[in-house]
Structure 1
Amino acid sequence: MAENSKIEWTDHTFNPWIGCTKVSPACDGCYAENLMANRYHRVQWGAGEDRQRTGKTNWRKPIVWDKAAKEAGTRPYVFCASLADVFDNEVDEMWRYDLMSLIEATPNLIWLLLTKRIGNVMKMTDPARGHRMLPRNAAIGATIANQPEYDRDRMKLWEVKQSLEPLFTFGSYEPLLSRVVLDKYAPDWIITGGETDQGPHKARYTDPDNFRYLRDQSRELGRAFFMKQMTRKAPIPTDLLVRQYPEAA
C-alpha cells in the first residue's frame, strides 16, 4: 500500500488506511473502489462501512524514505492517501492522530494531503478539539471536478492556507468534468487530468481546450500547472505537456 508511485506528480504513495464514501461527481469512476472493493474485495465502499488500517510494515516505509531523503539532500513528495481520504468523518480519530505524528516524524518528506472533504480540515487539525496540528511539512489539496465545486470549496482551501499555513495548497482538477474559471483564490498548484475507464464506468470525455484554459489561467495567476493525462490516457498534445511544481519551503 506504499511504494514508489506511478502517479506522475508524486514520488511515493502512502495509504494509512483504505476505504471511503463517494461525495463528489469526481467519485463516480473511483479507481480506488474499483481496485480495492470490486476487484480485490478487501473493503466495502460507502457510508457506515469499516475503513481498514494498513499494517505496521507499511507504516514504517515513510521512515525509510525520510532517512534516504536526508542522506540524499532531497525532499520527495508523498501522496497520502490514494485509496482513502485523510479527512473522512468515518475514520477513527486516533488513526488520523497517528498519521499526523508520522508526518511530523518525517520532516524530509513533503506530504500531499488531498481531500474531497476540505471543509473538515480546520476542525480535524484543531488542538482545542483534541486533534493533532497540521505538521509544517504537509501541503493541503482539494479535489475540484467542475465549476460548482470550485465555487463551493475555493474559499475553504484559502482559509486553510491563511489559518494553518500549510507548505502550499493544491487543487486536483481530475477528472476535469467541465471548464473551470479560476480567480485570485486559486490554490498554489493546479494539477489536472482526464478520466480513465474503471470497470463498468466508462471515462467521461474532457475537451482538451478545458485543460488549455486551466493552463493559461495558471500562468496568468502565477500558479504552477501540471498536466497529468488526457481522457483514457490518450497522448498529451505537445502544447499541453506542462509539468511544473510549486515552490516548497
Structure 2
Amino acid sequence: MADRSSIEWTEATWNPTTGCDRVSSGCDNCYALTLAKRLKAMGAAKYQNDGDPRTSGPGFDLTVHPDALDIPYGWKSPRTVFVNSMSDLFHARVPLDFVRRVFEVMADTPQHTYQVLTKRARRLRQVADRLDWPANVWMGVSVETAKELPRVDDLRQVPAAVRFLSCEPLLGPLDGLSLDGIHWVIAGGESGPKHRPMDPAWVSQIRDQCVQENVAFFFKQWGGHTPKAGGRTLEGVTWDQMPRTVPA
C-alpha cells in the first residue's frame, strides 16, 4: 500500500493481493514484476513467494493478504485508490470469496473512490453478477492492441458505476474500438530500458474518438527510458480528464 501514488490518474494504491502472471503482450515488460524482485531482495514480507519463472518471477507469485483489508478504514481523508497496482484482483487464483471481501471493504468506505483494473476480463464478466457493485467502484480493463478488444465487450456487461479502459502500454492501433458504455479512457506509452515505441497516430485516434463520443480522456505519458522521459502533452495539450459524474 502507498498512501500517495506517483501514478497520474490516482492518489493512492492498495494491494490486498500481490503477484501475477503474464497473459498478453502488454505484460512483456511488466513494471510490477521488476519491482517485486527488488522488494523481495529488500526483505519485504509481501513479496517472498516466487512465481512460475515462465510467466512470473521472484517475489511475484499470486498471494492474498487478508491483513491488508483493514487499510482503507484507516485513511482519514477521502482519496482515489488504485486497487492492486501490484496484482490482478480477477486472477484465476484469487478465491471469489476474497474478491467479495475486497468489494465489501470498498462498499464500507464510500468516502473513497476505487479504481480496479484487470486483464482477466472474461473472469470479471463471469463473476460480476455474484458481486455487489457499490457506486464508488470504477472497473477497467487493459487494452494494449486490437487483439485485446474483446475485453471491452466483457467490461460492457459489468454493472460498475464507471467503466474505463487502460490503453497502456499502447502497442498498436485500436481499429474497431467501440466506446459504447465506456466512461473513461487512459492511454500511454511504455517506459523502461526495453520500452516499445508508440505511434502518435494511435493516441490521436483514441483521443479523437473520445472527444467525438464525449468520453473522458486521460493521456498519461509518451514513455521512454523513464516514465517521464517523453512528457505527457499530446499536440501541445495536457489531457487529464476524469469521469465528471457517476452514471446512474
TM-score by length of 2: 0.84
Range with bigger deviation, 38-47 or 20-29: 38-47
**Kept in 2: contact 1:154–1:185 (CA 8 A):** no
Range with bigger deviation, 10-19 or 38-47: 38-47
Q: Is residue 136 of structure 2 the alignment partner of residue 141 of structure 1?
A: no
**Kept in 1: contact 2:125–2:155 (CA 8 A):** no
Q: Unpaired segments of 5 or more residues in structure 2?
A: 42-46
**Kept in 2: contact 1:227–1:240 (CA 8 A):** no
Q: How far apart in 2 are the matches of 1:229 and 1:186? A: 25
**Other-structure match for 2:64:** 53
**Other-structure match for 1:203:** 195
| Secondary structure of the corresponding residue to residue 139 of structure 1 | strand
| Secondary structure of the corresponding residue to residue 68 of structure 1 | coil
CA distances 1:46-81 after superposition (whole Å, capped 9, x unpaired): 47985223363x43331133x422xxxxxx321111
**Other-structure match for 2:89:** 86
Q: How far apart in 2 are the matches of 1:78 and 1:240? A: 26
Q: How far apart in 1 are the matches of 2:96 and 2:37? A: 23
**Kept in 2: contact 1:173–1:190 (CA 8 A):** yes
Q: Is residue 11 of structure 2 the alignment partner of residue 11 of structure 1?
A: yes
Letter in 1 for 2:182: P
**Kept in 2: contact 1:15–1:81 (CA 8 A):** yes
RMSD: 2.2
Quick one: which of 237, 241, 244 aligns to 1:247? Answer: 244
Shift of 1:99: 0.7
Q: Unpaired segments of 5 or more residues in structure 1?
A: 70-75
Superposition map of 1:99-138 within 5 A = 99-127=102-130, 132-138=131-137
User: Percent same amino acid among aligned pairs?
Assistant: 31
**Other-structure match for 2:36:** 36
**Other-structure match for 1:177:** 171
**Kept in 2: contact 1:155–1:185 (CA 8 A):** no
Letter in 1 for 2:107: E
Q: Is residue 220 of structure 2 the alignment partner of residue 228 of structure 1?
A: yes
Q: How far apart in 1 are the matches of 2:102 and 2:232? A: 35
Q: Is residue 163 of structure 2 the alignment partner of residue 153 of structure 1?
A: no
Q: How far apart in 2 are the matches of 1:157 and 1:92? A: 20
Letter in 2 for 1:62: P
Q: How far apart in 2 are the matches of 1:133 and 1:153? A: 21
Letter in 1 for 2:108: A
Letter in 1 for 2:64: R
* Residues 195/240 of structure 1: CA separation in 2 closer, same or farther (3 Å cut): farther
Q: How far apart in 2 are the matches of 1:88 and 1:121? A: 9
Aligned length: 229
Superposition map of 1:188-199 within 5 A = 188-197=183-192
TM-score by length of 1: 0.84
* Residues 20/31 of structure 1: CA separation in 2 closer, same or farther (3 Å cut): same
Q: Is residue 182 of structure 2 the alignment partner of residue 187 of structure 1?
A: yes
CA distances 1:92-147 after superposition (whole Å, capped 9, x unpaired): 333212211111111111111100011112332333xxxx4233321110000011
* Residues 34/184 of structure 1: CA separation in 2 closer, same or farther (3 Å cut): closer
CA distances 1:197-221 after superposition (whole Å, capped 9, x unpaired): 16xxx00000122212211111011
| Secondary structure of the corresponding residue to residue 13 of structure 1 | strand
Q: How far apart in 2 are the matches of 1:126 and 1:101? A: 15
| Secondary structure of the corresponding residue to residue 73 of structure 2 | helix
Range with bigger deviation, 44-53 or 79-88: 44-53
